[in-house]
């Protein structure tokens, strides 16, 4: 039987907070010791991250501890986005194993880091494998690392997110054991015989039809459907085009997960930033490298669209699940939360409404990692939910 629990603390003393949250998580799980523990702590505790990790390991009686810094944390129905806050997630049970990993020097070494992670966890792989990956958001080379990781570990689900911060330090940190580092990746392999379900919800929905790229130079789209790309953009965003800075904060590029797709469908596209738009040159600079002939779209981020997408995703999950989950990990974009919905605890409340009172823990991310076609990918402006359940059919 899998046992899991989530604990939270906002006590100012970091050692006390870590011990308090871990003790609560163990009690909620019905465990005297944990097989593994995940810890996410806000920037306010930054000077004491090492102390926090040691306290978690001592209280949980395990060396298998991983996590990262965060702007805010998620603990069941609580979403705390400011000040002192940390969450501890513990898990254990018969046949469930945990293996932490750490890969230093992340920048420019995507494929090499993937190989190091795979080598570290491969001996611990089980029947079902969930790799929780946390990376320094400011140094992550996702386009190289994630496809390489999928090739190295083809039967392993990869999820997680980028470490975040409140903007006061300009650095993000990952945790492994009692090691705290930037320009690095860390995480935890959770392996065993269990059912695993992962789903993602976007805060963006399409505006207007899909468009075909007809002229492009590197990451600058010159033409869509044979027309200046800026003109297509301006027509789609309407009055927002008069305030370009505001427009680029809410309107993004949609890229189908399937390269052969001819339309933009819910749950089947990735979101990428529009870096700049030039009326003079008729061009859009994007954080993507499309090719002539590719299909792309424009999407708008707002609270109503995000809420609708989340509800549809949770409805589908509820129908898909055969048994109630025993643990949920939620990795939610920093652009969601109170800033998007104008109320705290929004996503957590809906998760409980649709899925019941299950232990859910996570953090607000710099980017999200989740299913993207046939492998893991970056899912910006998303909430990624990984659910562990007791296996319904023993093989």
> Is 70 exceeded by the pLDDT of residue 168?
yes
- What the block records as the tokens of 63 is 């060396």
Per-residue pLDDT at 117 exceeds 60: yes
Range with the poorest average pLDDT among 61-75, 97-111, 120-134, 364-378: 364-378
Portion of the chain with pLDDT greater than 90, in percent = 85
Q: Provide the percentage of residues in the chain whose pLDDT is more than 70.
A: 99
Boundaries of CATH 2.40.30 in the chain? Answer: 207-300
Q: Report the mean per-residue pLDDT for the chain.
A: 94
Per-residue confidence (pLDDT) for residue 197, from 0 to 100: 95
Residue 347 reports pLDDT greater than 50:
yes
- Residues 5-22 have pLDDT tens digits of 999 999 999 999 999 999
Confidence of residue 262 (pLDDT cuts 50, 70, 90): confident
Does residue 78 register a pLDDT over 50?
yes
**What pLDDT, on a 0 to 100 scale, did the predictor assign at position 394?**
54
Report which of residues 6 and 372 the model is more confident about. 6
Segment 273-280 shows an average pLDDT of: 94
CATH code assigned to 207-300? 2.40.30
Q: Can you give the pLDDT at residue 395? A: 46
pLDDT for 319: 94
């Amino acid at each position: 039987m899998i046992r899991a629990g989530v604990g939270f603390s906002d006590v100012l003393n970091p050692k006390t907070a870590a011990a308090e949250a871990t003790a609560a998580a163990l009690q909620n799980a019905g465990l005297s010791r944990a097989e593994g523990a995940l810890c996410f702590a806000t920037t306010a505790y930054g000077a004491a991250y090492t102390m926090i990790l040691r306290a978690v390991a001592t209280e949980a009686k395990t060396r298998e501890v991983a996590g990262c810094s965060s702007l805010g944390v998620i603990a069941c129905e609580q979403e705390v986005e400011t000040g002192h806050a940390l969450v501890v997630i513990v898990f254990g049970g018969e046949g469930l194993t945990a293996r932490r990993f750490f890969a230093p020097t992340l920048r420019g070494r995507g494929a090499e880091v993937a190989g190091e992670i795979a080598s570290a966890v491969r001996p611990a792989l089980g029947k079902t494998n969930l790799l929780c990956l946390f990376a320094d958001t400011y140094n992550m080379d996702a386009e190289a690392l994630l496809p390489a990781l999928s090739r190295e570990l083809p039967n392993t689900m990869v999820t997680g997110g980028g470490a975040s911060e409140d903007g006061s330090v300009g650095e993000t940190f990952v945790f492994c054991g009692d090691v705290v580092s930037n320009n690095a990746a860390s995480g935890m392999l959770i392996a065993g015989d269990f059912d695993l379900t992962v789903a993602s919800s976007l805060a963006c929905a399409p505006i207007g039809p899909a468009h075909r790229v007809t002229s492009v130079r590197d990451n600058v789209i010159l033409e869509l459907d044979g027309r200046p790309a800026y003109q297509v953009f301006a027509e789609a965003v309407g009055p927002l085009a008069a305030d370009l800075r505001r427009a680029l904060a809410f309107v993004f590029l949609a890229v189908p997960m399937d390269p052969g797709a001819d339309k933009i469908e819910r749950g089947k596209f990735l979101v990428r930033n529009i870096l700049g738009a030039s009326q003079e040159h008729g061009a859009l600079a994007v954080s993507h490298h499309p090719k002539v002939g590719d299909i792309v779209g424009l999407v708008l981020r707002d609270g109503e669209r995000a809420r609708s997408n989340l509800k549809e995703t949770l409805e589908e999950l509820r129908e898909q699940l055969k048994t109630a989950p025993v643990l949920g990990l939620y990795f939610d974009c920093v652009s969601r939360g109170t800033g998007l919905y104008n109320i705290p605890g929004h996503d957590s409340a809906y998760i409980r409404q649709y899925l019941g009172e299950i232990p859910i823990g996570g953090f607000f991310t710099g980017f999200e990692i989740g299913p993207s076609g046939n492998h893991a990918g970056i899912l910006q402006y998303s909430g990624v939910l990984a659910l562990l359940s007791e296996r319904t059919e023993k093989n």
